[in-house]
Structure 1
Amino acid sequence: MTRRQTMVLFLLLGAQFTLAVDFSIMNVAVPVIGRELHFSQENLQWIATTFALSAAGFSLLFGRIADLVGARKVFLAGLALLTVASLLGGLVDASGPLLAARVAQGLATAMVTPAGLALLTTSFPEGPLRDRALGLNGAMLSAGFTCGAILGGLLTDVLSWRWGFFINVPIGLLLIVVAPMLLAKGEVRRGGKLDIPGAVTVSAGLIALVYGISAAGEYGWADRTTLVSLAAAVVLLIAFGLIELRAPEPLAPLRVLGLRSVTWGNIGGAATFIGFTAMIFLITLYLQDVLGYSAMSTGLTFGVLGVGAFLGGVTAPRWIGALGGSSAVLVAGLLVQGVTVGALYFAGDARGWLYAVLGLAFLSSYAHVVAIVGFMVTATSGLPNEQQGLATGITTLTQQVSITIGIPIMSAIAVAQIRAAKDSSVEAATLHGINVAILANGLILVAVGLLVALFAKRRAAAAND
């Protein structure tokens, strides 16, 4: 790796880490924000949901725009938007402007994440160097989620929730100044036209999907709002598929989507993100509602998961070499993650279980990031540089949607089991619901891992499709 490549890698990893921190840093401060800005209880969820809606809804669009106009331009524009939105978010004094700032932060994430990943994959050729870069990217991604939760709690308690926004401003300015010096201007330009009908239908469909799933977590899967939103998502996404079949320059060429490396890589990626976010949610409930730990103590214990995530990212490229390919690493990560998550089914209500739970969660976090690296390498391999924006846009979409849907799905299973155990004590019913949901989580991960093993081709074979 040359000195310039090293500096580019540090720049791109810094941007991805900042975005990952952004995703979780405000979650801890939601109750405080609600009190200060007079949010109603039912509207608190929008502090997180508005970010998720815009981040997931527009990631594919901006990934494709990065292919057309250059990833460098989209990356810098996204950083500028993130910096301005963060500054305004920290200065607001009403709920509406705060939600607008969160929407803008989500849009910035939809711009910077696929563009940054496209710059990373085009800066390093396929092989060990790219695998190493994507491994470090996975480590920074998961470490950012963990650090965001811890940092959000500390900033809110010591200073103010507003610093969860302000902290992005100096980082954003630094990245905006340094990025033009390091990132090459000579990206591939196709000079084509943007598929407007495809962009409108896929963005609207993804927003409806994420909104419907978020509504399910708040109101239930049978709620009218949930059903209407999910039905609209299905109609819009089917329309998108039909448009892509006829478009002369489609937003997402079906030839690319039909590659096994892209299809099964993203299926595996979706499973690992769903499994990890659901595990975090269920362990949080377990530590607080069953074992009786405080919110601060619970947050600090997740530092163990951050260590596992970092080690997973650092060592994943070696596993690619040892196991003979990225798809094998994706499968292995999913299987280990599934087994370690499923083993949490046996956790009991005594505090002595804490050490076993944290040990299994550490291993699961390690396997999760190993699977992320396998997913990223598999889903972006075998494609030319001018399609890396699309490939990374798809992986970003997979990540954002999966993070959003994991909690509602497993929460529905846990709640159903808790209600079914109505003859038990509250603590016993809660433990039973958590155990069943976490077992289901583990079984899904193992099942997807086996499917990817059966149907996904190794990187070399995928490149020849």
Structure 2
Amino acid sequence: MKPTDATATRRGPGAALAALAGAQFTVMLATSIVNVALPRIRDGVGLSDSGTTWVVNAYGLAFGALLLAGGRAADLLGRRRVLLAGLAVFGISSLAAGLATSSAALIAARAVQGLGAAAIAPAALALVMGLFPPGPGRGRALGVWGAVSGAGGAAGVLLGGVLTQAWGWEWIFYMVAIGTFAVLAAAAASVPKAKVTERGRFDVLGTTTVTLALTALVWGLTSARRSGWTDTTVLGAFAVTAVLLTAFVLVERRHPNPLLPPRLFRTGRVTAGNLLMALLGSVWIALFYFLPLYQQQVLGLSPLVTGLGQLPLAFAIMLGSTLAPRISRRTGSTATVTGALLAEAAGLLWLSRISAHGSYLVDVLGPSILIGLGLSVAFVQLTALSVEGVPGQDAGLAGGLVNTTRQVGGAIGLAVLATLAGTTTAHAAGHQTQLEALTAGYRTAFGISAAVLVAAAALALLLTRHRTARPTDAEPRATAAQPSA
């Protein structure tokens, strides 16, 4: 046994969980940390208004498109190995983004960041599943996972505002790089190696077709926000997506080791968990897009104050994630998911009453806390459902799938909501002030988000009301905790 493996074993799963949670926090942080800083970034590297959106889109595009490939690579090559490689790529590309002096270099660095994130997220979740067998321990671990996942989005807005105002936009990337290298060192020291549980050839053709399909889909959705749904480029991207997804299905039927094996959907409530996670993601990412815009463009808050205003939301997310396993044990997964989705919907409905002449305390604080509690409990429970009963050799792929559905759902939701909000604002501009028109658009986005979550709650009642499947004999109880010699 190598010294690092022995050290990791002695430290136990707690230290490994802390490192893995840190990896997930870093990935989520990078998703939202640029939002507040976008005006400064645009001026710093000479981006156009349309080019500025690609500082966000390049990361999300690579992240969402490559998650399934990252999850399968983790199962075939070793989850710890893929995690460490992903962290290294993520840290180096974050540093490159901070050092970028041109728009092309910055956008390329953000795309490589997304590549690293696509390796980190599924590998880290699979390692958590292996370290903690089904039971209360896994529930608590997923509570930690949910806390850092939700808090990472809120903390990104906070740190983005603080760092941009204090030291400049470059420091949002430098800070992510510093944090990533710290997590890399912690993971190398505390996460034990595990035997590779899945053997077989990598499904190159299936991976290529689904990756290109997801790329075309996310490209089309992000372009629709700017050009409209009837634009030739957007319609072409959707047509390419349909063709590639059809090709993917045909390839998967014939491959002896498909990227998405049918067994993945025959156990537990994987399909239900992923469908509901897509709906939750469609609202989640949009929330962290529209809320800072309302605070800055309508309420007139500075980037620093806007970031500080996310703290109650972050604390509510951490509290809800901590309580989620206890709530689930007492009320059952169906009641927990349904209640959490309805609580978040109530918070968004509250936000849909914002005023152009309102204030943070009256219009934002209360709904933020309610949304944070509902979002975090729903996320923890849906993550558990999405990996429930999955054979151990597919844990990385299951982690990649649930992250894919959340990310792609988020891209779809943001594209649709941004279009509807923009349309509402344009119609209101003719007879209202600019601030009132902007507020009307944000109200529309929050109101539709609430309706989506009410529909998701109804689906949760229908799709999750049956007995939890037991782990199959093929599922190792603690695969990732078995150090290799």
Q: Same fold (TM over 0.5)?
A: yes
Q: State TM-score, norm by structure 1.
A: 0.93
Question: Is the alpha carbon distance of 1:321 and 1:225 closer, same or farther for their aligned partners in structure 2, counting shifts above 3 Å?
Answer: same
| Paired residue type of 2:158 | I
Residues 112-144 of structure 1, C-alpha deviation per residue, up to 9 Å, x if partnerless? 110000001110001111111111111111111
Cross-structure match for 2:205: 197
Cross-structure match for 1:111: 119
Aligned pairs for 1:5-404 (under 5 A) are 5-257=13-265, 261-325=269-333, 327-351=334-358, 354-404=361-411
Check the 8 A contact 1:261/1:457 in 2, yes or no.
no
In 2, Cα distance between the equivalents of 1:356 and 1:463?
Answer: 46
Residues 388-417 of structure 1, C-alpha deviation per residue, up to 9 Å, x if partnerless? 001100011122223323222112222233
C-alpha displacement of 1:458: 4.5
C-alpha displacement of 1:76: 0.9
Check the 8 A contact 1:50/1:103 in 2, yes or no.
yes
Check the 8 A contact 1:268/1:334 in 2, yes or no.
no
Residues 262-305 of structure 1, C-alpha deviation per residue, up to 9 Å, x if partnerless? 11101111222222332333434444444444444333212221
In 1, Cα distance between the equivalents of 2:284 and 2:397?
Answer: 25
| Paired residue type of 1:382 | G
| Paired residue type of 1:359 | G
Question: Is the alpha carbon distance of 1:350 and 1:462 closer, same or farther for their aligned partners in structure 2, counting shifts above 3 Å?
Answer: farther
In 2, Cα distance between the equivalents of 1:178 and 1:408?
Answer: 37
Residues 359-385 of structure 1, C-alpha deviation per residue, up to 9 Å, x if partnerless? 022101110011000111001110121
In 2, Cα distance between the equivalents of 1:415 and 1:440?
Answer: 14
The 3-state SS of whatever aligns with 1:194 is: coil
Q: Select between 100-109 and 234-243 the one with higher mean Cα deviation.
A: 234-243
C-alpha displacement of 1:339: 2.3
In 1, Cα distance between the equivalents of 2:235 and 2:424?
Answer: 22
In 1, Cα distance between the equivalents of 2:391 and 2:125?
Answer: 14
Task: For structure 1, list consecutive stretches of 5 or more residues without a partner in the other structure.
Answer: none
The 3-state SS of whatever aligns with 1:341 is: helix
| Paired residue type of 1:364 | I
> Of 416, 420, 436, which residue of structure 1 is paired with 2:423?
416
| Paired residue type of 2:287 | M
Question: Is the alpha carbon distance of 1:292 and 1:26 closer, same or farther for their aligned partners in structure 2, counting shifts above 3 Å?
Answer: closer
Check the 8 A contact 1:276/1:365 in 2, yes or no.
no
C-alpha displacement of 1:440: 1.6
| Paired residue type of 2:418 | S
Task: For structure 2, list consecutive stretches of 5 or more residues without a partner in the other structure.
Answer: 1-9, 474-485
Check the 8 A contact 1:260/1:456 in 2, yes or no.
no
C-alpha displacement of 1:423: 5.0
Check the 8 A contact 1:261/1:462 in 2, yes or no.
no
Q: Select between 216-225 and 110-119 the one with higher mean Cα deviation.
A: 216-225
C-alpha displacement of 1:259: 5.1
Question: Is the alpha carbon distance of 1:21 and 1:459 closer, same or farther for their aligned partners in structure 2, counting shifts above 3 Å?
Answer: farther
| Paired residue type of 2:403 | T
| Paired residue type of 2:421 | A
In 1, Cα distance between the equivalents of 2:96 and 2:352?
Answer: 44
Residues 161-207 of structure 1, C-alpha deviation per residue, up to 9 Å, x if partnerless? 22222223333333333323322223333220011111001000011
Check the 8 A contact 1:410/1:437 in 2, yes or no.
yes
In 2, Cα distance between the equivalents of 1:416 and 1:96?
Answer: 30
Check the 8 A contact 1:273/1:403 in 2, yes or no.
yes
Check the 8 A contact 1:71/1:119 in 2, yes or no.
yes
Aligned pairs for 1:384-463 (under 5 A) are 384-421=391-428, 424-426=431-433, 427-458=435-466, 460-461=468-469
Residues 329-348 of structure 1, C-alpha deviation per residue, up to 9 Å, x if partnerless? 22221121112212333334
In 2, Cα distance between the equivalents of 1:431 and 1:31?
Answer: 20
Q: How large is the RMSD of aligned CA atoms in angstroms?
A: 2.2
Question: Is the alpha carbon distance of 1:58 and 1:170 closer, same or farther for their aligned partners in structure 2, counting shifts above 3 Å?
Answer: same
Residues 219-245 of structure 1, C-alpha deviation per residue, up to 9 Å, x if partnerless? 221222111112211221222122212
Residues 85-105 of structure 1, C-alpha deviation per residue, up to 9 Å, x if partnerless? 122222232222222211111
The 3-state SS of whatever aligns with 2:352 is: helix
In 1, Cα distance between the equivalents of 2:441 and 2:178?
Answer: 44
In 1, Cα distance between the equivalents of 2:212 and 2:463?
Answer: 31
Question: Is the alpha carbon distance of 1:459 and 1:70 closer, same or farther for their aligned partners in structure 2, counting shifts above 3 Å?
Answer: farther
Check the 8 A contact 2:299/2:359 in 1, yes or no.
no
In 1, Cα distance between the equivalents of 2:256 and 2:37?
Answer: 47
In 2, Cα distance between the equivalents of 1:282 and 1:151?
Answer: 17
The 3-state SS of whatever aligns with 2:341 is: helix
Check the 8 A contact 1:382/1:464 in 2, yes or no.
yes
Check the 8 A contact 2:31/2:156 in 1, yes or no.
yes
Question: Is the alpha carbon distance of 1:309 and 1:423 closer, same or farther for their aligned partners in structure 2, counting shifts above 3 Å?
Answer: same
Check the 8 A contact 2:159/2:307 in 1, yes or no.
no
| Number of residue pairs matched by the alignment | 463
